[in-house]
Structure 1
Amino acid sequence: MDFSRLQTTSKVTSEWKYPQGQPNRTGMLQVDTAPDHTLYWEEYGNPDGEPVMFLHGGPGGACAPVMSRFFDPRRYRVILFDQRGCGKSTPTVASHGPAVALIRNDTDHLVADINTLRDALGITGRMHVFGGSWGSTLALVYAIRHPEHVASLILRGIFLGTREDLLYMYQGNAAVFARTPYALSEPGTYVSYPDEWKAFVEEIPADQRGDMMAAYKAIFDGKPTDEAGRQAQLRAAVAWSIWEGSISNMIPETGDPGKFGEADFALCFAQIEAHFFANNLFLAPDEITRNVDKIAGLPIHVVHGRFDQVCPLTQASRLVAALDAVGVAPATYVRTNAGHSAMEAETVLALTAIMDGLARI
């Protein structure tokens, strides 16, 4: 049979409106001592334009130049930066180990880092804050704490990070997987990605699968004394990383995990995520939804993939319901026929259109 006409990717290809630009400048900004947390940043677009602070996902992800393409380079001054321990920022888990890289790597410090970077770059007025996945969480927390610095919030793939949200993605049917691997015993991402789920689950011994996140965290917290131990820790990090990378697209990439399969990225990404998840994202219960009244005066734009299995659409629904409860509605709420990734074609189109249509600061 001829399957050549079937859709093979949901990722963006030729849909970009704006070309890939080069950064105007880059830099390293020290934001802490002992350890000397230092953030890598890049600036794109119009140096005199409206500032956009771009917050990447994870926690533990990183920025890439392609992320500047959502924005009209004639209008916007776009700031990309790698959060603590991520990407080109230092120290990292890969370079210095978790005992160093995870010190004071928490939500309060990440919020403070945004203000430190903002000050260092001479941003004195309001700025657009653009974040996806964990970046949407951080954007919401930042705006709740510093609404005076925010002109608008542009949020993709809402992540509220409650225990039930994490269980949906990381626990699923893992506890019974050894006996009934295809049992639909619990809700979860595994339903749509059974092969990828198998690889993720089988990294953990069957008798430890009652709490998958805790089992992985125990591996990450170990202090290997030989090469076999270091390789076991790396395998776990890569398994964690590839699981999220695979399920981020509605049509998963097969055979090429990209950065998610790279050792250094996986070690940082997996261990920072596990660190944040074990600490409930360093947020009080329902901290975001209980405090949306503080951002009720801001234009809030939400784009969420209908088929998102990293952050299911119900998380956007809960945010919108919380806003409704304080008498406001998002300025935009778009449900795209897409998965989780910012690089899904429909999501790229929606986010670019929102940025083109924003009221000027």
Structure 2
Amino acid sequence: MDFSKLQSHSKVTTEWAYPQAAPNRTGWLQVDTAPDHSLYWEEYGDPQGEPVMFLHGGPGGACAPVMARFFDPKRYRVILFDQRGCGKSQPTVASHGPQVALTRNTTDYLVDDINALRDALDITGRMHVFGGSWGSTLALVYAIRHPDKVASLILRGIFLGMPEDLAFMYQGNAADYARDPYALTHPGSYVSYPDQWKAFVEVIAPQDRGDMMAAYKAIFDMVPANEAERERQLQAAVAWSVWEGAISNMIPEPADDGKYGEADFALCFAQIEAHFFANNLFLEPDYIVRNIDRIAALPIHIVHGRFDLVCPLTQASRLVEALKDAGAEPATYVKTNAGHSAMEGQTVLALTAIMDGLAPISAA
């Protein structure tokens, strides 16, 4: 039988409006000592254009040059940077270990880092803040604390970080998996990705599956005493990372784990995520919704994939409802026929259209 005509992926192909360009300049900014956290940053587009601060996902992800393609290079000055412990920033879990890389690595510090980068790059007025997934969380927290510095929020794949949001992705039916791996005992991402879920769950012994996130965190917190324990830690980090990478696309590519399967990326990504999740994102419960009135006057643009199983659409719905309760409406709310990844065709089209249609900062 010929299945060659079936759609094989949902990732962006010809949807980009703007070509990939080289950065105008790059650099590192030291933002802290003990340890000496230094952020790697890149600037794209018009050096005199409207500033856009791009906040990547994770926590624990990283930026890539392709992320500058959402923005008209003749209009915008785009700043991409890797958050603490991520990507090319230093120190990382892979280079220095979690005891170093996770020290002074919290949401409060990340918010302060954005202001430090603003100052270092001489951004003095309002800026557009663009973030997806965890980047949407960080963008919202930043705006709540510094609304005077934000011209607009452009948010993709809303992540509010409530316990039930995390349980949907990481817990699912794990507690019952040994008895019946296909039982739909609880809601969760596993429903649509049973093969990938099997690989994620079976890293953890059956007796420890009542709290999958805690079980993984215990492995990450272990100080390896030998090669077998180092391999165990890496295996867990790759399993955690690949699980998220696989379910981020509406149509996964099982033969290609991409960066999620790379050892250094997986160690950083998984351990930073587990660190933030174990500490409730270093935020008070329901912090964003309880403080939504502080940003209700800002233009807020939301794009969310209808088939997102990393951050289900209900999180965007909850944010929109909170804005309405505060007497505001999102400036844009688009539900795309896509999954979680920013690199899916419909999501690329929607985000680019929003950026092309924003009111200039001078008129915002």
TM band (smaller chain): over 0.9
1:170-189 equivalences under 5 Å are 170-189=170-189
Q: Deviations over 1:196-240 (max 9, x none)?
A: 000000000000000000000000000001111100000000000
Provide the rounded CA distance (Å) in 1 between the counterparts of 2:291 and 2:223: 39
Tell me whether 1:229 sits opposite 2:215 in the alignment: no
Please give the alpha-carbon distance, in whole angstroms, between the structure 2 residues aligned to 1:251 and 1:294: 38
Aligned runs of 1:150-161 on 2, under 5 Å?
150-161=150-161
Report deviation, 1:6. 1.2
CA distance in 2, matches of 1:257, 1:4: 21
Between the aligned partners of 1:166 and 1:15, the Cα distance in structure 2 is: 31
Q: Which amino acid aligns with 1:162?
A: M
Where does 1:280-319 land on structure 2 (aligned, <5 Å)? 280-319=280-319
Shift of 1:4: 1.8
What SS does the aligned partner of 1:128 have? strand
The equivalent residue for 1:255 is 255
Alpha-carbon distance between aligned partners in 2 of 1:2 and 1:259, rounded to the nearest angstrom? 31
SS in 2 for 1:125: coil
Matched with 1:206 is 206
Q: Quick one: which amino acid aligns to residue 269 of structure 2?
A: F
Q: How many pairs does the alignment contain? A: 361
Secondary structure of 2:287's match?
A: coil
SS of the aligned residue for 1:335 comes to strand
Query: How far apart are residue 254 of structure 1 and its match?
Result: 1.5
In structure 2, how many angstroms separate the alpha carbons of the residues matched to 1:203 and 1:349? Answer: 38
- 1:43 matched to which residue of 2? 43
SS in 2 for 1:210: helix
Give the Å deviation of 1:353.
0.2
- 1:131-170 to 2 correspondences below 5 Å: 131-170=131-170
Q: Which residue of 2 aligns with 1:110?
A: 110
State the alpha-carbon separation in 2 of the partners of residues 15 and 150 from structure 1.
28
CA distance in 1, matches of 2:89, 2:46: 24
- 1:2 aligns with 2
For the residues of structure 1 that align with 2:254 and 2:72, how far apart are their CA atoms? 32
Q: Report Cα offsets for 1:276-306 as digits up to 9, x if no partner.
A: 0000000001100011100011000000000
Provide the identity percentage: 80
Deviations 1:108-139 (A, max 9, x none): 00000000000000000000000000000000
Q: Any idea what SS the aligned residue of 2:215 has?
A: helix
Q: Within 2, Cα distance between the matches of 1:79 and 1:50?
A: 11
- Cα distance, 1:2 vs structure 2: 2.2
Separation of aligned partners in 2, 1:5 and 1:102: 46
Offset of residue 50 of structure 1 = 0.2
- Read off the aligned partner of 2:199 and give its amino acid letter: A
Give deviations 1:18-44, integer Å, cap 9, x for gaps: 000100000000000010000000000
Secondary structure (helix, strand or coil) at the match of 2:330 reads coil
What does residue 60 of structure 1 align with?
60
Secondary structure of residue in 1 paired with 2:8: coil
Deviation of 1:14 (Å): 1.1
Equivalent residue for 1:32?
A: 32
> Which amino acid letter does the alignment assign opposite residue 140 of structure 1?
L
In the aligned structure 2, how far is the partner of 1:2 from the partner of 1:240?
A: 34
In structure 2, give the amino acid aligned to 1:161.
G
SS in structure 2 at match of 1:131: strand
Question: 1:10, CA displacement in angstroms?
Answer: 0.5
The corresponding residue for 2:354 is 354
In 2: Cα distance, 1:221 partner to 1:139 partner = 28
Q: TM-score, normalised by structure 1?
A: 1.00
For 1:141-162, what per-residue CA distance to the aligned partner results, in whole angstroms no more than 9, with x for missing partners?
A: 0000000000000000000000
Cα distance in 2 for partners of 1:254, 1:266 equals 17
Distance in 1 (alpha carbons) for counterparts of 2:56 and 2:64:
9
Cα distance in 2, alignment partners of residues 243 and 55 from structure 1? 22
The two structures, once aligned, show a CA RMSD in angstroms of 0.4
Q: 2:217 maps to what in 1?
A: 217
1:325 aligns with 2:330: no
Q: Where do 4+ consecutive residues of structure 1 move more than 2 Å? A: none
Gaps of 5+ in 2: none
